[in-house]
Amino acid sequence: MSSPAAGGAVGAVVLLPLGVAVLALAVASVNGAVNARAEGGAVRDGFAAPVRETARLIRQQRRTLPGADSLLWRIAGAGLGIAAVLQVVVIPFGDVTFADLPVGLVWFNAIDVLLWALWWLLGWGANSTWSLVGGYRFLAQALSYEIPLMFALTAPAIGAGSLRLLDIQAAQQSVWFVVWMPVSFLIYVASVVAFSSWGPFQSAVGVDIGQGVLAELSGIDRLLVLGGRYAVLVAGAAFSVPLFFGGGSGPLLPGGIWVVVKTAVVLAGMLAVGRMVPTIRPDRLAEIAWVIVVPLVLVQLAVVAVIVAVNGGAL
């Protein structure tokens, strides 16, 4: 094995999970601080909340229930964080990429479908009605977001004429895709929040069902799921950078830094908007997803296709 490849492997195994974890912790901290402000508590306590929760959950006992499908339950809990890292592994940081897949975009899509299984198994494995209801809620929600998301993902692919992320990034040298694919971008971001069961799309972990898929989790298992949720959110935000924000392009700073900065901006936007909207119930979501959002994204695709045909490539 040549040494650059070995270096890449080390980077992928050590750097990426670490980077995802650090960003996830940062998002959780900011979210905690905003929550603390809303509650009238000390903002500093809010910032420290994720660290305190981590210490607390590390000390806590794990639980199981009679008849729990422990294997699948634990796999699902640990899988979220792994899925997040697997998504990030194909993202180009400037010209550097840990895994230059010719079908990087499809890879992302495959992992996001894996999240269906993970969330549902998390609900199923506990052998508790509340968890199971949570799992089914996630599936109902996924039926609404997945088709629009898949269409939304095709827009950058059509724009660049490639499924390879380096090509998609390169096609945005003059104009970022977010400028002429805004509908795709919005659908993409909403879907990322939805597959993380977060913000307005958190009905699978809703308080009304005792936190649904989280209801029976404690200790390290709960930590993995709570952390994994933020990790998936971070991964989704990071993936929007090569798709819609020109990847690592930017003045002065190296490409890798720009990717992180742009990711942070997308995350901040998700946090801010997510807090303004109450949870959308899956049954109501299906209505707009299929009646309004799917036609909208198809129009977006038509516009992109026409532009590419007339222009002979991306703008």
Partner 1 sequence: MGVIDWIAGVGTKRVHVLVIETPGASLLRMRVQAAIAARGWVEATSPADADALLVCGNPGSPLSELIGAVWEQIPSPRHRAMLTEPGTLLEFLDAIPIALQNERSQRADAHDRPQHVSMSPADGAPDMTRVDTSDTPGMHHSEAEAEPPLPDDSGHDVSMHTDTMYEGTPQKNSGSNPAMDMNMSGPAGIPLAEGDQDRDGLEMDVTHLTLGPILAAWPADLVLHCTLHGDVVADARVERLPSGVATTEQPAVASQLCDAAARLLSVIGWDPVARQVDRLRNDIVSGVPPQDVSRRLNRLITQIRRSRTLRWSLAGIHAPGARPARDRLLGWLQSAQESLMADEKRPFHIPVGELALSEVDIRLAVLGQELSTVRLIIASLATGTSPRVVLGHE
Query: What is the Cα–Cα distance from 207 to 210, expressed in whole angstroms?
Result: 5
Stretch near partner 1 under the rule CB under 8 A, chosen from 76-84, 115-123, 154-162, 269-277:
269-277
Tell which positions 117-146 bind partner 1, by CB under 8 A. 127-130, 132-133, 136
Give residue 274's identity as a one-letter amino acid code: G
Secondary structure (H, E, C), the chain: CCHHHHHHHHHHHHHHHHHHHHHHHHHHHHHHHHHHHHHCCCHHHHHHHHHHHHHHHHHCCCCCCCCCCHHHHHHHHHHHHHHHHHHHCCCEECCEECCCCCCHHHHHHHHHHHHHHHHHHHHHHCCCHHHHHHHHHHHHHHHHHHHHHHHHHHHHHHHHCCCCHHHHHHCCCCCCHHHHCHHHHHHHHHHHHHHCCCHHHCHHHCHHHCCHHHCCCCHHHHHHHHHHHHHHHHHHHHHHHHHHCCCCCCCCCCHHHHHHHHHHHHHHHHHHHHHHCCCCCHHHHHHHHHHHHHHHHHHHHHHHHHHHHHHCCCC
| Cβ proximity to partner 1, 32 vs 156, nearer residue | 32
Stretch near partner 1 under the rule CB under 8 A, chosen from 174-182, 255-263, 280-288, 303-311:
280-288
- Taking CB under 8 A as the criterion, the residue among 11, 17, 219, 256 binding partner 1 is 219
CB of 51 to partner 1, least distance (A): 7
CB of 103 to partner 1, least distance (A): 36
Q: How many CA atoms lie within 13 A of 103 on its CB side?
A: 5
4 touches partner 1 (CB under 8 A): no
- Taking CB under 8 A as the criterion, the residue among 10, 110, 208, 313 binding partner 1 is 208
- Taking CB under 8 A as the criterion, the residue among 24, 83, 153, 214 binding partner 1 is 214
Tell which positions 166-195 bind partner 1, by CB under 8 A. none
Binding-residue total with partner 1 (CB under 8 A): 63
200 touches partner 1 (CB under 8 A): yes
- Taking CB under 8 A as the criterion, the residue among 26, 30, 65, 186 binding partner 1 is 65
29 touches partner 1 (CB under 8 A): no
95 touches partner 1 (CB under 8 A): no
- Taking CB under 8 A as the criterion, the residue among 15, 38, 175, 253 binding partner 1 is 38
Stretch near partner 1 under the rule CB under 8 A, chosen from 172-180, 207-215, 229-237, 249-257:
207-215
Please give the residue ranges that form the binding site for partner 1 (CB under 8 A). 34-36, 38-42, 45-46, 48-49, 51-53, 55-70, 127-130, 132-133, 136, 200, 202-203, 206-211, 214-219, 222, 275-281, 283-284
